[in-house]
Amino acid sequence: MNIGEASKATGISVKMLRYYEEIGLVRPALRAYSGYRVYSDKNIATLRFVRRARDLGFQVKQIAALLDLWQNGSRASADVKSLATAHVQELEQRRRALDEMIATLEHLAHNCHGDHRPDCPILQSLGAEDTAAQKSPRKKAPRPTFAVA
């Protein structure tokens, strides 16, 4: 199978197939004499795994860990589960952040006339003199690390 066909079979773009190989997420594909990459059914299965993990929002490093576990017959399902639940927590945190933004914006937009006049609570809120809610420069938020013990 050529890379184009592999792309269609997995839903991963040609660019990303080459990238995943380059960064070592998957083993380099075999090459035909022409230099073309050749994908086996097994390769495709692995890539589909990657694709699904990606669709669940896992980062490449986490996908690598999942792949290792998948291919390791003596894994403990506990390890998989903890990876997954840690990831869920990360996603939930992002979700909460979004919730907050959305709530604030919807509230402000709701109170905005949205007409030809300049007055607008949205801008007023953004430009408020009020210093109350000052946070400091965000520190590198605890990056989605595995087992932040």
Contact residues: its own copies, CB under 8 A? 7-14, 16, 45, 48-49, 52-53, 55-57, 66, 69-70, 72-78, 80-82, 84-85, 87-88, 91-92, 94-95, 97-99, 101-102, 104-106, 108-109, 112-120, 122-123, 125-129, 134-138
Listed in order, strand segments (DSSP E) in 24-113 are 30-31, 37-38
- Number of Cβ atoms within 10 Å of the Cβ of 125: 15
User: Contact, 9 vs 45, CB < 8 A?
Assistant: no
Alpha-carbon distance 120 to 104, whole Å? 14
Looking from the CA of 109 toward its CB, the CA atoms found within 13 Å total: 6
Alpha-carbon distance 13 to 2, whole Å? 13
| Helix (H/G/I), strand (E/B), else coil: 30 | strand
Cβ proximity to its own copies: between 34 and 79 the closer is 79
Cβ proximity to its own copies: between 38 and 84 the closer is 84
Q: Does 24 bind DNA (CB under 7 A)?
A: no
Q: Pick from 11, 19, 88, 124: which binds DNA (CB under 7 A)? A: 19
Q: How far is the CB of 56 from its own copies (least distance, A)?
A: 5
Alpha-carbon distance 31 to 110, whole Å? 59
Q: What string marks each residue from 42 to 81 as x (binds DNA by CB under 7 A) or -?
A: ------------x----xxx--------------------
Q: Pick from 32, 76, 102, 103: which binds DNA (CB under 7 A)? A: 32
Cβ proximity to its own copies: between 40 and 82 the closer is 82
Beta partners for residue 30, in sequence order: 38
- The widest CA-to-CA distance across the chain, in whole angstroms, is 69
Give the interface with DNA as residue ranges (CB under 7 A): 2-5, 13-16, 18-19, 32-37, 54, 59-61, 137-140
